Chains A and B, each alone.
Chain A
C-alpha cells in the first residue's frame, strides 16, 4: 500500500532537499524527504575529534559495500567497480555531504555560465577542441544572483565583496560577478600563514582576498531566525560534523525551519530506486525501506535532490529522459560528466617558521582568482579554463599530513626526523581547476555489477585530457612562483641532495596529472553533470528552473545540473540552484505546465 500522497516528495535530505523542504513548507506545501541514511545532528559531533574513525575509516560516507560505481577510462575498457572509497567521498545520512563539507562557498563567474559563447567570442571557435562539449548553462550569472544571495544569507557566509553592484573593491575578489549586497558576515582575520600568502601574491601583482567561508568567524542570526555560534578553529571540518554549529550545514539551518512548520516529514533508511512515471508525469517514488521492502511515496511534484550519481542513476533506472549515447553524442541523461582538476600545486618546507597547522577551519584560506576561468588571456597557451589558487589553513590532522621534501626516504629514521621537523612547517599552495565536458565522458548503467538490492551500478567513463594537462602544467609554474615569494631564497627540490643552509625547500614547477585518472587517491567530491541544465532539450535534461523538459512535475537539482565544472567548489552554486528550483516549483504548483 502506498504512503499518503503529499504535495512534494524529495529524494535526498542534504542541502538541496533541506533548502526545498524549508522553502516549500514555509509556502504551505506538505513535503516528504526520503533519506537513505540515519538521522543525526550536533549532539553526535561532540566527541568527533577522531581522525581515524571519521577521516580514515569514512564514518560519514556512503558505504561502498552496499552501493558503489564502476569506472573506466575510455569506451573500449570494461569498467571495474570502485571497491572502496578513494577519489571522492559522498555523504550519507541527514544533511548529506553538507554536514562533512569544508564550507568553501563560491559564486561561479559570469563567464562560467556562458563558457562556450564567451570562449568563441574572445578566441574563435577553433579554441575549443573537437571532442570538448562545453555548453552554456541556459541561465546567466545575473539571473542566478538573487538565489546566490539567498543561500549566502541563510548560511551566513563570511567574506568581503570584490564587486558590489559593478563597483570593484580592493581586498575582495575583483574577478567575481557583481553582488547585489555585501556578504552577511565579515571575513575572518588572517592567520600568519594567510598573511604571508597575501604579501607574496601582492608582490607578484595579483589580487589576494579571504576565501568566502561557511565557518562563522562571529555569531550570526539568519533571516529565518536561526542563530549559530562562532568557529573555534578546532581543525576538524572536512570529513567531520561541527560540534558548535559554526559550520553551516542543513541540519542546523534549513531543516529545523522545515520541521518547525509541521509540514515536513523525513523517512530514514529509504533507498529510492525508481520514479514511477508514464513519461509525461511522475507519480511516485519507489524505495526500499529499512526492512528491504518496496514502498511507494506518491506526490504531486517529485524532486531528485540526491548526490550527482544517485540523481542520474534514478533517471536511468526509471527510463526518464533519453540516455546519452557517446558514439553519436545524442541523448541527454548521463551527458557531460565532469569533475575537478587538481594537481598544479606547490609545497614548501620552511626551515625556520612554524605554523600552527593543526588549528584551522575548513574554509579558512587566502586566495587569488587571477588564473581562474578566463580572468587571464589564454591566447597561445594551448588550453582554456583555469582555477582558484589558495593557501588554506583547514587543520592538519596528523595521519594525513606528513609530507617530507622530495628525495627523502618514505620510512625509517631519516624520514622520521623529517616528519618531526616539518609536520608544523610544510605548507601547500593549492590549485583547483576547471573540468570541461567531453563527448566521451558520461554516465550510464553498468552491464555487469549490481548494488545490494540487485540494481545496476552507475558506470562512469572519464579520463584526463590534453587541455587539462596543459592547464595543470601552466598552473604549477604559477604556484611555484608564489611559493618562492613566500620563502625567499628557498631551494627547489629536484630529487637530489638538499642544501642544509637554505631557508626552505620547495617542490613544484610544471604540474602533471597521472597517466590515467586514479580512483584511489582522494582528489575532490565535486563530481558534476549527467542531468545538466540548458536552453535546448536536445542537449539538456532540465530547463533553467531545473524542471525536466519532458516531465513537468519532476525537478532534478544539484551539481548534476552543471554542464561542466568551474574552478571553484560547487556548493554555493548548488544552493543557488536549489532556491531557484523552489521558486520554480511554487510557480508550477500555481500554473502547471512548462516553466520555460
Chain B
C-alpha cells in the first residue's frame, strides 16, 4: 500500500491536489504511479496506449473518474493473449463522450415526476437522474465500498481483486446508495456500465473507442464493407468464408486511428428536427 486513497469514506470524491497531479500524467502512466501496489501493473498494457501522443481532452469526467472507469472497463474487456483490452481501445474516452453528449445528458429520458419505487419488476429506470448524474454519484460510493473491502482504490487492486469487486456490483452485493436511496442498485449500474464498455469496444471508432478497430478485429466483424464497394450479396448465399472478416473498415477512415471523440457531436447532429419540436412546448 503506497498511497492513501483520495476518496473519503463519506463517499465524496475529493479531487484537490492529487487531481492536479493526475491531470499532468498520461493515462498509462497514471496507472503506473497509482499502481505501485503489488500486481496492479499487470493490468496495464505495456503497449500503444501508454506511448501515444496527446491525450484526448475530457468532456465530462474528471481525471479521477476517467482513471477509475478505465480500470473498471479493463476488468470487463481485459488485455490478454487474445488481444488488447478496453484501455487500449479508448473505452474511457468513449464513455466520457457519451456522458457529455445527448445520451448522458438524458435528452431522450422522460424525467417528469412523481418518482417512486416500483411495487414489482419490469419498470426500469425510475430515478430523476440522467446517466451522467448516475456515473457521477455512483463512482465515489463505489470507491468507498472498494476501499472498505480491499483497502485500496480500484485502479490499484490486483486483477483478481478487481474481478471480485466487479462481481459485487453485478450481483448487487455492493450496497451503494445514490442520493440516500437504493432505488438504483449496484447491479443496475453494472448493467449500464457493462453495456457502455461493449459499446466502447464495438461501436465505430468515430465515437472515441474501438481505437484502431481492435474490438472489431477481435471478434471478426468487418465494419462497413459498403465503403469497399464490396457488397454482401456476392458472399451471403455461399459456403465460402468472407475474405475481409478480419480487415474491417470504419464509417469514417480518418477517425479510426485517432479515436477522436465525436460521440456527442455525432449523436446530436441529426437532432435539429426533434429539437425544433422540443422548443414547441406549451
Annotate B29-72 by CB proximity to A: 1 below 8 A, 0 otherwise.
00000000000000000000000000000000000000000000
B127, closest chain A residue (CB): A83
One of B10-18, B75-83, B133-141, B143-151 at the interface:
B75-83
Interface pair A410/B170, CB less than 8 Å apart: yes
Question: Which residues of the partner chain A approach B237 to less than 8 Å between Cβ atoms?
Answer: 188-191
Whether A77 contacts B236 by the Cβ 8 Å rule is no
For B194, the closest partner residue in chain A by CB is A411
Interface segment, one of A179-187, A319-327, A354-362: A354-362
Considering the complex, give the chain A residue whose CB is closest to the CB of B112. A449
B122 & A83 in contact (Cβ 8 Å cutoff):
no
* Residue pair A411, B76 in contact (C-beta under 8 Å): yes
CB-contact partner of B267 in A57, A271, A411, A452, under 8 A: A57
Which of these, B103, B170, B251, contacts A47 with CB under 8 Å? B251
Given contacts A59-B270, A63-B108, A398-B219, contact A520 B278 (CB under 8 A): no
Complexed CA–CA distance, A85 and B242 (Å):
35
Chain A residue numbers with a CB within 8 Å of B109 are: 64-65, 83-84
Contact A399 B198 (CB under 8 A): yes
Interface check A202, CB cutoff 8 A = no
Contact: A516 with B120, CB < 8 Å? yes
Contact B108 A233 (CB under 8 A): no
Q: A34 vs B245: C-alpha distance in the bound complex, in angstroms?
A: 45
- Is there a chain A Cβ closer than 8 Å to B124's Cβ? yes
The minimal Cβ–Cβ distance linking A349 to chain B, given in whole angstroms, is 14
Give A157 to B130 CA distance when docked, in angstroms: 43
Whether B251 lies near A93 (C-beta < 8 A) is no
Given A71-B123, A84-B124, A66-B278 contact (CB < 8 Å) = yes
B83 cross-chain contacts in A, Cβ below 8 A: 420
Partner of A84, one of B75, B108, B266: B108
Report whether B203 and A271 are in contact in the complex, using a CB–CB cutoff of 8 Å.
no
Q: How large is the interface on B (under 10, 10 to 19, 20 to 34, 35 or more residues)?
A: 35 or more
Does any Cβ of B come within 8 Å of A230's Cβ? yes
Q: Which of the listed residues A290, A402, A416 has the most CB atoms from chain B within 10 Å of its own CB?
A: A416
* Chain A 255-299 interface residues, beta-carbon cutoff 8 Å to B: 269, 271, 288-293
Select which of B75, B163, B221 is within 8 A of A423 by beta carbon: B221
Contact of B121 with A516 in the complex, beta carbons under 8 Å: yes
Q: Knowing A52-B203, A411-B194, A449-B112 touch, does A356 contact B119 (C-beta < 8 A)?
A: no
Query: Across the interface, do A290 and B121 meet the contact criterion of CB distance under 8 Å?
Result: no
In the bound complex, do residue A393 and residue B236 qualify as a contact, i.e. CB atoms below 8 Å apart? yes
A596 at the interface (CB under 8 A from B): no
CB within 8 Å for A63 and B78 given contacts A86-B124, A292-B281: no
A476 and B235 alpha carbons, distance in the complex (Å): 32
The docked-state distance in angstroms from the alpha carbon of A411 to that of B170 is 10
Residues on A with beta carbons closer than 8 Å to the beta carbon of B231: 232-234
Q: Which residue of A lies closest to B107 (CB)?
A: A65
> Which bracket fits the contact residues of A?
35 or more
Q: Is A90 an interface residue (CB 8 A)?
A: no
B142 within 8 A of A: no
**B166 interface residue (CB < 8 Å to A):** yes
- Interface core residue of A56, A77, A192, A292 (most chain B CB under 10 Å): A56
Question: 0/1 per residue, A289-316, Cβ < 8 Å to B?
Answer: 1111100000000000000000000000
B216 within 8 A of A: yes
A499 at interface, CB cutoff 8 A? no
Taking CB atoms, residues of chain B closer than 8 Å to A92 are 274
CB closest residue in chain B, given A59: B270
Scoring B110, B114, B251 by chain A CB atoms within 10 A of each residue's CB, the highest score goes to B110
Per the bound structure, the CA–CA distance linking A295 and B237 in Å amounts to 53
Knowing A65-B106, A290-B280, A398-B216, the reply to whether A83 touches B236 (Cβ < 8 A) is no
Query: Which of A359, A412, A452 contacts B235, CB < 8 Å?
Result: A359
Q: Does A49 contact B (CB under 8 A)?
A: yes
Given A58-B108, A84-B109, residue A416 in contact with residue B203 (CB < 8 A) = no
Query: Is A454 an interface position by the 8 A CB rule?
Result: yes
Q: In the complex the two chains form, what is the Cα distance from A80 to B241 in whole Å?
A: 49
Please tell me if the beta carbons of A399 and B194 are within 8 angstroms of each other in the complex.
no
Interface membership of A515, Cβ < 8 A: yes
Q: Is A526 an interface residue (CB 8 A)?
A: no
A413 on the interface (CB 8 Å rule)?
Answer: yes
9 nearest A-B residue pairs (beta carbon): A38-B273, A292-B280, A52-B203, A520-B124, A233-B232, A518-B122, A359-B232, A423-B219, A292-B282
Give A contacts to B, CB under 8 Å.
Answer: 36-38, 44, 47, 49-53, 56-59, 63-66, 68, 71, 73, 77-78, 80-86, 92-93, 188-192, 230-235, 243, 269, 271, 288-293, 354, 356, 358-360, 393, 398-399, 402, 410-413, 416-417, 419-420, 423-424, 448-450, 452-454, 514-520
Can you add 11 more A-B contacts, CB < 8 Å, to A59-B270, A64-B108? A38-B273, A57-B267, A83-B109, A83-B111, A233-B231, A402-B198, A402-B219, A411-B75, A514-B122, A516-B121, A520-B124
